[in-house]
Amino acid sequence: MRKASRPIKGLLIDLEGVLFTDGQPIAGAVEALEVIRKQRIGCRFLTNTSTISRETLCDKLYAMGFSILLREIFSAPLATSLYLDAIPVKNCWYIVSDEVLSEFDGIQQSPGAVTHIVVGDIGSAWNHDLMNEIFLHMTHGAELIAMHKNRFWQTSDGLRLDIGAFISGLEYATRRTATVIGKPSTAFFELALLDMGLQRDQILVIGDDIDSDIAGARNTGLRSVLCKTGKYTDVYFIRSDTAPDHLIESFAELPTLLASINQT
């Protein structure tokens, strides 16, 4: 484990699987976040969720008992919008939920050749015809932009296939690489890091996904904590080549871990 050169002053916290699962807060998570707030530790909440808007997500978090501000949430759709804003000429095709489409109000679709295909979570809407249409646009030069490339996600009925499988299939078929915006993209973590105004050795990343949260943190030069909730499984953890700096049972244990780190 790497030792901190300075006390932890900021946290980059995943949401689904760390603070809550299936709309229910993880035991002790609400109370743990309140303790952390009282210690004046800054927080940003990083999420690859691309089925709902940040406003709706913020309302849901509040209903679960979490006091989280809209400006503290860094979502993959928000980062994708910022990415597209920097492209001067574009004609986008959005394959996203109707609610998330509102994140792109200033970047309208228009008739003509598609230059950028933006993909988010669409659940069971995936089918062969859609995959083939995306494939054809990509063979004519369109850039594939994936809000994330998660392999799977956690539900009350167990793990479910996520959009990463479809993105990888399109990459294989076209021999082209998609632009991935959300975690584990280094740019995504850098965006939150810049907003906090802290140095890397003052930041700790908290997640349940060893591929997106922990690997993303390591690639950005940040220390990480893996929670044994949400997507976490012992088997996947043991087989992974990525290791967190700290492993805890749940977010409820984070205040104790922070106290230990900041005392060293």
**Mean pLDDT of all residues in 229-258:** 95
- pLDDT for position 63: 97
Which band of pLDDT confidence, cut at 50, 70 and 90, is reported for residue 223? very high
**Mean pLDDT of all residues in 131-150:** 94
- Domain containing 132 equals 88-180
Closest CA relative to residue 62, chosen from 79, 78, 45, 48: 45
Residue 118 lies in a domain: yes
Closest CA relative to residue 26, chosen from 222, 207, 175: 207
Averaged pLDDT of the chain: 91
CATH number, domain with residue 259: 3.40.50.1000
Residue 255 has pLDDT above 50, yes or no: yes
Virtual torsion, Cα 115, 120, 122, 126, nearest 10 deg: 50
Residue 160 lies in a domain: yes
**Mean pLDDT of all residues in 152-158:** 68
Same domain, 93 and 172: yes
- The total domain count for the chain is 2
Residues of the chain with pLDDT > 70: what percent? Answer: 94
Same domain, 139 and 169: yes
pLDDT digits (tens, 9 = 90+) for 79-109: 998 888 888 878 899 999 888 888 887 666 6
- pLDDT for position 89: 79
Same domain, 144 and 190: no
- pLDDT for position 108: 61
Residue 150 has pLDDT above 90, yes or no: no
Number of other CB atoms surrounding residue 60 within 10 Å: 14
Domain boundary among 127, 155, 180: 180
Same domain, 176 and 199: no
Closest CA relative to residue 230, chosen from 173, 165, 152: 152
How distant, in Å, are the alpha carbons of 20, 115, 180, 181, 255 from that of 89? 39, 9, 20, 19, 47
- Do 11 and 42 contact (CB within 8 A), yes or no? yes
Per-residue burial over 218-227, b = 16 or more CB atoms within 10 Å of its CB, e = otherwise: bebebbbbbb
**Mean pLDDT of all residues in 188-212:** 92
Residue 1 has pLDDT above 50, yes or no: no
The pTM of the full predicted model, rounded to 2 decimals, is: 0.84
81 versus 255: the higher-pLDDT residue is 255
Which band of pLDDT confidence, cut at 50, 70 and 90, is reported for residue 152? confident
